[in-house]
Structure 1
Amino acid sequence: MIKIAWHPLFAHPLPEGHRFPMLKYELIPEQLLHEGTIEQHNLFEPEMVEEEIILLTHQKEYWLQLRDLTLPAREQRRIGFPLTQQLVERELRITQGTIDGAKFAIQNGIAFNVAGGTHHSGSNWGEGFCLLNDQAVAANYLINSKIAKSILIIDLDVHQGNGTAEIFTQEPRVFTFSMHGDKNFPFRKEISDLDVPLHDGLADDAYLDILSTNLKIAFENAQPDFVFYLSGVDVLATDKLGKLSLSKLACKERDRMVLSACKERNLPVQVSMGGGYSTDIKDIVDAHCNTYRLAFDLFS
């Protein structure tokens, strides 16, 4: 059974001015339930990740400042909103949802987190609405627990996974692949194992050709026994922050290429949803729901 991490906190704790893009975390499961793609038993509510697991990835001083709400104002501005206890709890549940999802993926082939994809958080910083790096924490958990020996992180959000790259810069057991807008946030890039910068306005065919080539390179170099996939839909032409020109159909084909590559290689994959900032919330939700629809076709 395909399992999906979701919690009411994923959608509701953000301050005024940030609530619109968070609506998707409520609307995605509602749409999937409404159309019959999933049933209630596919959803699970994660607990909060334990401190000792966080500290496999994030530096202690940074974590304690998050936990105790003492992060300096300048660092809170870098994240994009003021810290609250509810926001920290939200991040703890997102992160545990990705860890649990990784375990479910090993059982069932694939699992999802309705939120997650917090790839701008580095070992000792938060940035771009990201406090803890859910997939990095989960990858370190799998490695430390000897559940996985070699991990590939495929990051196709339009923004570089700079925090993920920094966290694993000295870790040969985790291969980081980021395909992202060259002139987009973050403006100071880190170095992934495989970075593929894209020019503004890149459209469907060119994007998919580049992805096809580099997916093969990533799998060949990583030789993974587990995959994390960050499936941000801010690559869409309708996205306010993306700067690329992909159609919804091409975004769906992108997901098909990644998920099929995992399925063909018999590799478990955990999927976190990442960004999406189109003006019409329907475009965001439908593009994300396509990822689930594909997964249920391929893995059920």
Structure 2
Amino acid sequence: MLKIAFDPIYAHPLPEGHRFPMLKYELIPLQLKHEGIIRDQNIFSPEILDEQWICPPHEKTYWEKLKNLNLTYQEEKRTGFPLSAQLVERELRIAQGTIDCCHFTMNFGVAFNVAGGTHHAGSNWGEGFCLLNDQAIAANYLLEKGLAKSILIIDLDVHQGNGTAQIFENNPQVFTFSVHGEKNFPFRKEKSDLDIGLADGVGDQEYLQIISEQLAKLFDQTKPDFVFFLSGVDVLASDKLGKLALTIEGCKQRDFLVFEACKKRNIPVQVSMGGGYSADIKIIVDAHCNTYKVANELYF
């Protein structure tokens, strides 16, 4: 069964002027239900994450400041959000949703978090609309619980997964792989285990060739027993912040390559949705829904 983490708080933690990027978290499940891809039993609402799983990967001093709403002005500005208790709760639910999805993948092969992909949050900072790093927290959880020994994080958001790279830079059990726009945010990159920085304007053919070639090498090299996939759709040509030139079909094919690589090796994969900033919300929702549809066709 396709399992999807969703909670209404994902959609409404912000003042009116900040809500547009959050609309997709409501609209994606609605669209999938409308098309008959999912039903209510496919959706679950995560609880609030137990604090024991935050540190590590985040430093205790950072978490205490975040929890108590004591970030400095500069630290809060770096997140892009006006900090609030509701926003922190949202991040805790997102992280728990990703952990829950990890358990569902053990039975079903794949599971999704409608939100998540908060890959700019580092061990002691929040950045770029990310306060806590959901996939880093979940990866650490799997290692601590003995549920995984070798983890591959495939980050295909248009922005480098700098926080994830920094958190795991000295952890040989987690291999971080990021394909992103080289001249895009974050302008100070961290060092993933493998970074591929793309020039502005890269389209379907070049992009898909890179993904196909690298995935084959990485699975042979790292021999993961668990995969995290960050499936941002800000790689689209229509994206306001992306600078790449993928089509909707190219983005869909990218997702197929990742899921096919995991499925044929029988490796569970947790998916967090990541970014998407096209001016037309329908394009964002359609592109994200394609990720679910591809997984549904391959796994179910």
TM-score by length of 1: 0.99
Query: Per the alignment, in what secondary structure is the counterpart of residue 195 of structure 1?
Result: strand
Letter in 1 for 2:140: N
Match of 1:249 in 2: 249
Match of 1:262 in 2: 262
CA distance in 1, matches of 2:197, 2:216: 17
Match of 2:219 in 1: 219
CA distance in 1, matches of 2:257, 2:18: 32
The 5-angstrom pairing of residues 269-280 of structure 1 reads 269-280=269-280
1:89 aligns with 2:94: no
User: Structure 2 stretches of 5 or more lacking a match?
Assistant: none
Following superposition, the deviation at residue 88 of structure 1 comes to 0.3
The 5-angstrom pairing of residues 1-300 of structure 1 reads 1-300=1-300
Following superposition, the deviation at residue 221 of structure 1 comes to 2.2
CA distance in 2, matches of 1:178, 1:287: 20
Following superposition, the deviation at residue 198 of structure 1 comes to 0.3
Q: 1:261-294 deviations in whole A, cap 9, x for unaligned?
A: 0000000000000000001000000000000001
CA distance in 2, matches of 1:112, 1:244: 25
Query: Per the alignment, in what secondary structure is the counterpart of residue 202 of structure 1?
Result: coil
Q: 1:148-172 deviations in whole A, cap 9, x for unaligned?
A: 0000000000000000000000000
CA distance in 2, matches of 1:192, 1:126: 18
Following superposition, the deviation at residue 250 of structure 1 comes to 0.2
CA distance in 1, matches of 2:3, 2:167: 27
4+ aligned runs moved over 3 Å, structure 1: none
Query: Per the alignment, in what secondary structure is the counterpart of residue 63 of structure 2?
Result: helix
CA distance in 1, matches of 2:213, 2:243: 22
Query: Per the alignment, in what secondary structure is the counterpart of residue 228 of structure 2?
Result: strand
Query: Per the alignment, in what secondary structure is the counterpart of residue 285 of structure 2?
Result: helix
**35-44 vs 208-217, which moves further:** 208-217
Letter in 2 for 1:15: P
Q: Give the share of equivalent positions with the same residue, in percent.
A: 67
Aligned length: 300
Letter in 2 for 1:52: Q
Following superposition, the deviation at residue 212 of structure 1 comes to 1.0
* Contact 1:56 1:141 (C-alpha < 8 Å) held by counterparts: no
Query: Per the alignment, in what secondary structure is the counterpart of residue 17 of structure 2?
Result: coil
Following superposition, the deviation at residue 82 of structure 1 comes to 1.5
Following superposition, the deviation at residue 253 of structure 1 comes to 0.1
Q: 1:151-196 deviations in whole A, cap 9, x for unaligned?
A: 0000000000000000000000000000000000000000001101
Letter in 1 for 2:292: Y
Please report the RMSD computed on the Cα atoms of aligned residues, expressed in angstroms: 0.6
CA distance in 1, matches of 2:110, 2:171: 24
CA distance in 1, matches of 2:179, 2:220: 16
User: Structure 1 stretches of 5 or more lacking a match?
Assistant: none
TM-score by length of 2: 0.99
CA distance in 2, matches of 1:201, 1:17: 30
